[in-house]
Amino acid sequence: MARVLIVDDHDTMREGMAVTLRKQGHDISAVRSGADAIATYRKQRFDVVVTDLKMEQMDGIELVRQLREFDPEAVVMVVTAFGTIETAVEAMQQGAVDFITKPFPPEVLRAKVDKALELAATRRQVVRLQAANDALERDRAQSIGTLIGQSEPMQKLMGMVKKAAVTDATVHIHGESGTGKELVARMIHDLSPRRDGPFVVVHCAALVETLLESELFGHERGAFTGAVKRKLGRFELADKGTLFLDEIGEISPSIQTKLLRVLQEKELQRVGGEETIKVDVRLVSATNRDLQAEVQKGTFREDLYYRLHIVPLKLPALRERPDDIPLLARHFIARHAPKVNRRVRGLTADAERALMRYAWPGNVRELENAIEQALVFAEGEELDAADLPEFLRAVTARVQTSALPVPHGDRPLPEILEDLERHLIAQAYEKANKVKTETARLLGIKTSALYYKLEKYGFIDKASSDPNKVSGDS
Average pLDDT over residues 451-463: 75
Are the C-beta atoms of 221 and 227 separated by less than 8 Å?
Answer: yes
Tell me, yes or no, if the pTM score tops 0.75.
no
Question: Could you tell me how far CA 238 lies from the centroid of its own chain?
Answer: 13
Q: Indicate the pLDDT class of residue 425, thresholds 50, 70 and 90.
A: confident
d(Cα 30, Cα 19) in Å, to the nearest integer? 10
Q: Indicate the pLDDT class of residue 407, thresholds 50, 70 and 90.
A: low
* pLDDT tens string 107-121: 989 998 988 888 878
d(Cα 162, Cα 179) in Å, to the nearest integer? 18
Domain pair 3-120 / 152-316, same fold: yes
Q: How far is CA 16 from CA 27, 56, 108, in A?
A: 15, 20, 13
Are the C-beta atoms of 193 and 166 separated by less than 8 Å?
Answer: yes
Task: Provide the pLDDT for residue 134.
Answer: 58
Q: Which residues contact 98 (CB under 8 A, 6 or more apart)?
A: 77, 78, 112, 115, 116
Question: What is the average pLDDT value for the chain, to the nearest integer?
Answer: 85
* pLDDT tens string 58-95: 888 899 989 988 888 889 988 877 656 677 677 778 88
CA dihedral 56, 61, 65, 66 (to 10 degrees): 20
Are the C-beta atoms of 91 and 64 separated by less than 8 Å?
Answer: yes
* DSSP letter assigned to residue 289: S
Question: Could you tell me how far CA 277 lies from the centroid of its own chain?
Answer: 24
Kindly state which CATH superfamily the domain 152-316 is placed in: P-loop containing nucleotide triphosphate hydrolases (3.40.50.300)
Partnered with residue 380 across adjacent β-strands are none
* pLDDT tens string 118-175: 887 877 777 666 665 555 554 444 333 467 888 999 999 999 999 999 999 999 999 9
* pLDDT tens string 237-269: 999 999 999 999 999 999 999 999 999 999 999
d(Cα 331, Cα 441) in Å, to the nearest integer? 24
| CATH of 3-120 among 3.30.565.10, 1.10.645.10, 3.40.50.2300, 3.30.70.20 | 3.40.50.2300
Closest CA to 188 of 199, 202, 177, 178: 199
| CATH of 413-464 among 2.40.10.10, 3.30.300.130, 3.40.50.2300, 1.10.10.60 | 1.10.10.60
Q: What are the structural domain ranges in the chain? A: 3-120, 152-316, 319-401, 413-464
- 319-401: CATH number: 1.10.8.60
Closest CA to 120 of 231, 274, 197, 222: 231
> Is residue 472 pLDDT above 60, yes or no?
no
